Amino acid sequence: MANLKEVRIRIASVKSTQQITSAMKMVAASKLRKAQNAIVKLRPFAGKLAELLQKLSANLENGIDNVYGQQREPKKVLILVIASNRGLCGAFNANVIKSGNNLIEKTYSQATKTGNLQLVTIGKKVTEYYQRKSIKILGSYDDIFDNLTFENVAPLAESFMKAFADKEFDRIIIVYNQFKNAVVQRLVNEQFLPVALPAITPADKGVVPDYIFEPGKEEIVNGLIPRSLKIQLYKTLLDSFASEQGARMTSMAQATDNATELLKELQLAYNKARQWAITKEILEIVSGAEALKS
């Protein structure tokens, strides 16, 4: 049985850990509230804009008119992997890395073998992981979450669009956690470029939508479509950030609960050890008294 000093040290250590995890849970909850408000407000607008973008891309000619919708064989692939800068958020980072590895090793294994697969990473955890691998990292933007605004995200989206338009890449995929609620995050592999065409339902077969372009196709390609893509990337980063805070809050809440349960067990062990020590002292006193009598 552990002595009283050892148990007291363990109790003090667990209490300190419990205070830290509880504080981290409250900080994550505060950040989650702001991030959740931001993504909930943007999501309806971004969703309708993405739907419009798909329909416009399907209607534009697959050529000069639709530079961002050109469907090419994915010989050269860029994967944007979005995780977090810190740990202590459960399997948040591990799931993103696992999904990224699946794309690298299976889905786009041919591009990987020929050296035509590159990565862009956001989040120190995923950057550190892939720096130890043989995959080429085109760029890392780990500090983007420090000031997550549309103005800071737009240049990154522009660089992706330019690389696709210049045929440096045939496909650009984003791997991230999509926010559902504080407890649930859905892992998503989303095609950023080329713009995915809308799914055709049986009722849509043979029906070709006819659009009147105003002011014109060129203005739409040069104005509306690039802005829509920037908003989609901004929404993706907001999703990931909110998911991170939700995962961290849940993880720290579980850690705090575990610490509480462990404290109960340690307190019971301490009481037993203290009772055993007192009983031992009483026995020694009684034995000594009996020895003196005899």
Judge whether residue 200 has pLDDT over 60. Answer: no
Confidence (pLDDT) at 208: 55
Highest mean pLDDT of the ranges 40-44, 50-54, 251-255: 251-255
| Domains of the chain, start order | 58-199+212-247 (3.40.1380.10)
Residue 287's pLDDT band, with cuts at 50, 70 and 90, is confident
C-alpha to C-alpha distance for 245 and 117, rounded to whole angstroms: 30
Only one residue has tokens 């077969």, namely 205
SS (H, E, C) the chain: CCCHHHHHHHHHHHHHHHHHHHHHHHHHHHHHHHHHHHHHHHHHHHHHHHHHHHHHHHHCCCCHHHCCCCCCCCCCEEEEEECCCCCCCCCHHHHHHHHHHHHHHHHCHHHHHCCCEEEEEECHHHHHHHHCCCCEEEEECHHHHHHCCHHHHHHHHHHHHHHHHCCCCCEEEEEEEEECCCCCEEEEEEEEECCCCCCCCHHHCCCCCCCCCCCCHHHHHHHHHHHHHHHHHHHHHHHHHHHHHHHHHHHHHHHHHHHHHHHHHHHHHHHHHHHHHHHHHHHHHHHHHHHHHC
What is the bridge-based pairing of β-strands 171-179 and 117-122?
unpaired
Considering the candidates 14, 50, 56, 89, report the single residue annotated as catalytic: 89
Q: Which of 193, 187, 186, 183 is nearest to 175 (CA)?
A: 187
**Contact by Cβ (8 Å): 175, 188:** yes
Q: 217: pLDDT confidence band, cut at 50, 70 and 90?
A: low
What is the average pLDDT value for the chain, to the nearest integer? 85
* pLDDT of the residue at 199: 59
Residue 221: what pLDDT? 67
pTM of the shown model: 0.83
Mean of pLDDT values over 144-156: 92
Contact 127, 140 (CB under 8 A): yes
Q: Report the pLDDT averaged over residues 241-262.
A: 92
Is 45 an active-site residue?
A: no
Lowest mean pLDDT among 23-32, 135-144, 167-176, 274-283: 274-283
More confident residue, 126 or 289: 126
Integer CA distances (angstroms), 247 to 30, 97, 186, 197, 250, in order: 13, 16, 11, 32, 5
Distance, CA of 1 to CA of 146 (rounded, Å): 49
Nearest to 137 by CA among 79, 91, 193, 186: 79
Query: How many whole angstroms separate alpha carbon 50 and alpha carbon 229?
Result: 8
Q: Would you say 100 and 126 are in contact if contact means Cβ atoms under 8 Å apart? A: yes
* pLDDT at residue 271 tops 90: no
What is the predicted pLDDT for the residue at 108?
Answer: 93
CA 202, CA 238: separation in Å to the nearest integer? 34
Which has more confidence, 120 or 216? 120
pLDDT band at 69 (very low <50, low <70, confident <90, very high): confident
For residue 175, what pLDDT is reported? 96
For range 22-34, the mean pLDDT = 91
Q: Looking at the predicted structure, is the pLDDT value of residue 294 above 80?
A: no
Contacts 24+ apart (CB under 8 A), 136-145: 138/78, 142/85, 144/237, 145/84, 145/85, 145/237, 145/241
* Residue type at position 68: Y
The answer to which of 21-30, 37-46, 151-160, 269-278 has the lowest mean pLDDT is: 269-278
